[in-house]
Amino acid sequence: MKILALESTCDETSVAFLNGRKIEKNLVYSQIKIHRKYKGVVPEAASRAHSEKMAALLKKITANSKKPQAITFCRGPGLNGSLIVSAVAAKTLSEYYAIPLIGVNHLEGHFLSCEIENDEIKNKFKFPLIVLIASGGHSELWLAENYGIYKLLGSTRDDAAGEAFDKTAKLLGFPYPGGPILEREALKASKKDFSFPIPFVREGFDFSFSGLKTAVAYKLDGKKLSIGFKRSVCYAFQEAAVDALLKKTAQAAEKYKVKQIAVGGGVSANGRLREAFTSYFKGKNIETLFPQKKYCSDNAAMAGLCAFRRLEAGEFKNCVSVNADLKIESWRKKC
Ligand code: KG4
Ligand code: ZN
């Protein structure tokens, strides 16, 4: 099965071509330069940039490629104006080629990315398992019972994890997106003489990161921000944020007695998070899976993966158009 995949949920325009289990091409155009001057993503600028770049990327990926047998795109969650760009392009192409159109969930794509190894889709999951999605827009914990069968255990009550990294970096005067820069600066911290309270919602599996951001703001208030002090703040923030994500994930793993944890989304690229999760769960005899770094942030290959699993399950047989509307799916039922 040859699948052409499109992604434009936020500030990356991406197209990918999958041939069976092989990700033959995954082209990503990042809009960081456009949004950096505004210190965050400007939705209108994002959708304009997607519409300018999508056609060029499609032209590039379809040159010398065989005709796809299915086309897929992330239909949400994401920025509405951005989502429409790949929705329209994918629908047009599916009608032109007369092939099935499969709208998939962006967050499921982040989860399934954990099964890519050397650009190939492997079968690594041992269901049921706990999934942590930590991205710029979402922090969620799921119980995954099989491909496409997910129960939402908890989500953030305010800021998402990546958003908290970005906002803290902004308070410190670092450019957008702050997550990778904050991680780099935390590594350079020489003084680790203070900590922030670990943000923790007592009941259930929800997260909350806005209190941690406020604690950082109070810590900075009226102080001269030397680079050494900023690095100490980055270190203390990262420790608290990673601990908060780890604690809830550990509670969920214990409750559901799983043997695997999968972590996806942009924040899963964070080295400290990877180290903390891997060593904690190793001690509990639980395997932790992460995507390869290049598949952590938004990319079209992950949409291709979702479509691959649906087609493999025999869904969408003989369909020309399925799930192609822009309605955000409600399949992640809160339990
Ligand atoms: O999944 P993603 O690419 O886009 C969304 O779906 O939101 O995630 C982007 C988020 C941003 O907030 C970015 O700062 C964060 O992931 N991020 C990181 C790191 N790399 C990206 N956060 C912490 N450490 C990193 N190394
Ligand atoms: Zn994402």
Q: Which tens digit of pLDDT belongs to each residue from 11-22? A: 999 999 999 999
Evaluate if residue 45 carries a pLDDT over 60.
yes
Starting from the CA of residue 160, give the closest ligand: 1
Mean pLDDT of the chain: 93
Distance 189 CA to ligand 2 centre (A): 29
pLDDT at position 318 is 57
Ligand 1 contact via 174 beta carbon (within 6 Å) = no
With a cut of 80, say whether residue 334 has pLDDT above it. no
Q: Answer yes or no: is the C-beta of 266 below 6 A from any ligand 1 atom.
A: yes
Q: What is the mean pLDDT of residues 5-32?
A: 97
Q: Is 297 in the pocket of ligand 1 (CB under 6 A)?
A: yes
Between the CA of 36 and the centroid of ligand 2 the distance, in Å, is 18
The DSSP code sequence of 39-84 is TS--HHHHHHHHHHHHHHHHHHHHTTPPPPSEEEEEEESS-HHHHH
Query: How much is the pLDDT for 65?
Result: 80
Say yes or no to pLDDT of 335 above 60: no
pTM above 0.85, yes or no: yes
Residues 6+ apart with CB under 8 A from 13: 7, 28, 29, 31, 49, 50, 53, 54, 57, 85
The Cα–Cα gap between 308 and 3 comes to: 8
- The tokens describing 213, both together, are 């951001």
> In whole angstroms, what is the distance from residue 153 CA to residue 141 CA?
5
Per-residue model confidence (pLDDT) at position 332: 38
Q: Does 135 contact ligand 1 (Cβ within 6 A)?
A: yes
- Residue of 267, 268, 293 with the most ligand 1 atoms within 8 Å of its CB, for mutation: 267
Distance 179 CA to ligand 1 centre (A): 6
pLDDT at 66: 82
Ligand nearest to the CA of 300: 2
Task: Say if ligand 1 is within 6 A of residue 262 CB.
Answer: no
User: Tens of pLDDT along 299-325?
Assistant: 999 999 999 999 998 877 655 555 544
| Average pLDDT estimate for 286-299 | 97
Looking at residue 313, what is its pLDDT? Answer: 87
Ligand nearest to the CA of residue 106, numbered in listed order:
2
Is 270 near ligand 1, meaning CB less than 6 Å away? yes
Quote the tokens at residue 280: 């904690």
- Using pLDDT thresholds of 50, 70 and 90, give the confidence band for residue 326: very low
User: What per-residue confidence (pLDDT) applies to 325?
Assistant: 46
226 phi and psi angles, rounded to 5 deg = -70, 160
- Residue, of 311 and 113, whose pLDDT is higher: 113
For range 122-139, the mean pLDDT:
97
How many A from CA of 265 to the centre of ligand 1?
A: 7
- Give, in order, the Cα–Cα distances in Å from 8 to each of 58, 245, 307: 13, 27, 16
Task: Label residue 115 by pLDDT band (50, 70, 90).
Answer: very high
Angle CA 46–48–50, to nearest 5: 70
Q: How far is the CA of 206 from the centre of ligand 1 (A)?
A: 19
State in Å: Cα 163 to ligand 1 middle: 8
Asked if the model's pLDDT at residue 333 lies above 80, the reply is: no
pLDDT in tens, 162-215: 999 999 999 999 999 999 999 999 999 999 999 999 998 989 999 999 999 999
Decide: 166 in ligand 1 pocket, CB within 6 A: yes
% of the chain at pLDDT higher than 90: 87
